[in-house]
Amino acid sequence: MSDDRIILNRTLVRRTPCVESDDLDVHPVLKQVYKNRDISDSRQLDYSLNNLLPPAKLSNLDEASDIIVSAIQANAPILIAGDFDADGATGSALGYLALTAFGARKVSYICPDRQLFGYGLTEDFVKSFAEAQPDLVITVDNGITSLAGVRLAREYGMSVVITDHHLPGDELPEADSIVNPRLPGDQFGSKNLAGVGVMWYVMSFVRKKLREEKWFESEGIAEPNMAHYLDLVAVGTIADVVPLDYNNRILVSEGLKLINRGCCRYGIRCLLEESGKRIGDVVSEDLAFTVGPKLNAAGRLDDISYGVKCLVSTDAEEVRSVVKTLERLNITRKSMEVEMVQAAKEEVRNTLTSIQHSMLGVCLYNADWHQGIVGLIASRVREYTGKPAIIFAPDNEGRLRGSGRSIQGLNLRDVLASIEAIEPEIFVQYGGHAMAAGMTLFETNLERFKSLYQEELSRQLGDRKWENQILSDGEICDLGLEAAEEVRSGGPWGQQFEEPVFDGIFNVVSHRMLKNGHLSVRLSSPNSNKTVAGIFFRYSNYHSHPPENRSYRCAFHLVVNEFRGSRKPQLNLIYMSDDISNVGTFPG
């Protein structure tokens, strides 16, 4: 096995409990985990819908709902303008289905072609649907930075309601109304809604207004139950990797209940079952690793409208056909990702090996890379190096499209804003979040951007010690199936409410290298003759040689492995070190 590692030394750090309460009536393993996540009261684990934040404090919600209600009642053409990822697809599907259920007779959706129009309500995107002459355009998961596109839409005579969750710039679009929990002065209790979550709140408030005006009664329409759309909210929220604060955990938990009762969209059911997932036993990780990537593959490589159609169609044959298309696109995406990751690793090896501790962030460009995959490559490079990473690929108009992934403590969108303040003309456009951002620039500006990127990282990070830390919830004695089942059902797990990681010292009893650099192992604890199965995905990215049959400190997820109807505990390893004392502490 060749030594192609590019990762900095990884350190294992144990979380310090945020609380010391023993009031939680849960499995001991979960009690240990919840203490590390500031959960001290069983009420914090009550994910019933009546604990959701009320919508009233979302800025401009009343105004936006009035505009939408007027369009419905006037039988005006309404166009939902989505985004090309899973969040945009689920939000577009939710808006389309809800408006149709409300009695809107002229509602349609459109999503931008990533390669032709780029992100957001761009001028070219607006021109592409101008002939349809919608009276009202409702954006989903985009629009907050689309100044020129919104201006053009209004010049065409369209009203524009923006629903978005991305960080706004210094100037807001001149839309008829904007609903975004990140607007300055917004009083909504959660800033972490996904785009589909914002759309769900908007549609819920529209329903309330229609009910108050006795619309459903006068039209002879059964009033829709907005809880029936939470399967879409769960998929989009998990796929967009937004922080799972309490409000988002409620939305996801209720969506998972809908899915597991078999009451979800047929397309979601098909996507899960095609991946071997059993309805009735679906958890958030299944959405993250099966449904989300397949929807995203359509937007990355072809047309996200396939994803929306999969979610809105009630024609079983059509859905199954679309699911096969999504499966094919995802297989292609995986193949392209492998090739691009290998090329990126080579680039990093060439540029960072001798200076990796002085270069604070990674910024790579390759003319052969696909712009739809750059976000995935940025994630992989960040994972391998422990550094914020931005990856560029060419678009079809002589520009570069970039996607970045950050590290904890560094707001990547703020980095881009600071660069723009120094060099106002450097970007064609940019936007995003603290942990992920996208940008477009001309190739002639690339070297200047790289320089400013390193300078801004130096200013914001200072002398920060670079370590790729793995946060552990500590050691556990119980590695049995019951504990694994409790951990599996103890979520929903996700961003900032992470799936538990445990650590301990184990003896390697046997091992076998698998294809793609994965490692299958059999482990035992020093004080027990019992063994447990483990697998270390992408082991070869972190180690140049297979492990020896001796003791290692391991960090792992305790999971349930189901095979041919049999369920067994398994350790999904993410760290192995022969320095068994290599563990620190991290304040909760």
Amino acid occupying residue 203: M
Domain definitions of the chain by residue range: 10-36+473-586, 49-328, 354-467
3-state SS string over 382-428? Answer: HHHHCCCEEEEEECCCCEEEEEEECCCCCCHHHHHHHHHHHCCCCCC
Candidates 436, 454, 466, 464; CA nearest to 374 is 436
Q: Which two tokens stand for residue 132?
A: 């349809």
**Rg (alpha carbons) of the chain, rounded to whole number:** 24
DSSP H helices, 48-174, are: 61-73, 86-102, 114-117, 123-129, 147-155
The answer for residues whose C-beta is within 8 angstroms of residue 573's C-beta and 6 or more apart is 519, 521, 534, 535, 536, 539, 554, 555, 556
Pick the CATH number of 354-467 from 3.10.310.30, 3.30.450.20, 2.170.150.70, 3.30.460.80: 3.10.310.30
Which amino acid is present at 215?
W
Give Cα 214 distance to the centre of its chain.
38
- What pLDDT sits at residue 173? 97
Q: C-alpha angle with apex 384: 380 to 389, nearest 5 degrees?
A: 60
Flag whether pLDDT at 560 surpasses 80.
yes
CA 69/CA 76 separation, integer angstroms: 10
**pLDDT digit string (tens) for 146-162?**
999 999 999 999 999 99
Q: What is the pLDDT of residues 243-290, one digit of tens each?
A: 999 999 999 999 999 999 999 999 999 999 999 999 999 999 999 999
**CB within 8 Å of 59: residues ≥ 6 apart:** 178, 179, 180, 181, 183, 185, 186, 187, 188
Contacts 24+ apart (CB under 8 A), 260-265: 263/228, 263/231, 264/231, 265/93, 265/231, 265/232, 265/310, 265/311, 265/312
Q: Looking at the predicted structure, is the pLDDT value of residue 4 above 50?
A: no
Residues whose CB falls within 8 Å of the CB of residue 409, separated by 6 or more in sequence, listed in order: 461, 464
Mean pLDDT of the chain: 91
pLDDT at 5 over 50: no
- The pLDDT of residue 175: 98
- β-pair partners for 161: 138, 177
For 311-364, how does the pLDDT look when each residue is reduced to its tens digit (9 = 90+)? Answer: 999 999 999 999 999 999 999 998 998 889 888 888 887 765 544 556 788 999
% the chain with pLDDT above 70: 95
Confidence of residue 2 (pLDDT cuts 50, 70, 90): very low
Closest CA to 410 of 429, 430, 391, 433: 433
Compute the distance between CA of residue 471 and CA of residue 294 in angstroms, rounded to an integer: 29
- What span, in angstroms and rounded, lies between the C-alpha atoms of 353 and 389? 15
With a cut of 60, say whether residue 466 has pLDDT above it: no
pLDDT surpasses 90 at 118: no
Nearest CA-CA partner of 497 in 145, 89, 123, 18: 18
C-alpha span between 342 and 75 (Å, rounded): 53
pLDDT mean over 121-139: 95
Q: Which of 333, 429, 337, 436 is nearest to 382 (CA)?
A: 436
Pairing of the two strands 468-472 and 10-15: parallel
Domain spanning 10-36+473-586: which CATH class is it, in words?
A: mainly beta
Residue 232 CA neighbour count, 13 Å, CB half: 32
Tell which residue, 48, 98, 97, has the closest CA to residue 209. Answer: 98
Of 49, 37, 41, 43, give the one whose Cα is nearest residue 487. Answer: 37
pTM of the complete model: 0.90
Query: What's the token pair of residue 359?
Result: 């270069």
Mean pLDDT score, 58-71: 97
Q: How confident is the model at residue 467 (pLDDT cuts 50, 70, 90)?
A: low
Query: Which of the residue ranges 50-54, 153-157, 549-553 would you say has the lowest mean pLDDT?
Result: 549-553
CATH topology of domain 49-328: inorganic pyrophosphatase (n-terminal core) (3.90.1640)
Model confidence at 518: pLDDT above 80: yes
Question: Distance of CA 164 to CAs 93, 161, 334, 357, 579, Å?
Answer: 15, 10, 29, 38, 47
In angstroms, the CA 375 to CA 164 distance is 20
Angle at 124 between CA 118 and CA 127, to 5 degrees: 140
**pLDDT at position 6 over 50:** no
The pLDDT of 56-72, averaged and rounded, is: 96
Residue 576: pLDDT band by 50, 70, 90 thresholds?
Answer: very high
Confidence tier at 584 by pLDDT (50, 70, 90): low
Q: Is the pLDDT of residue 301 over 90?
A: no
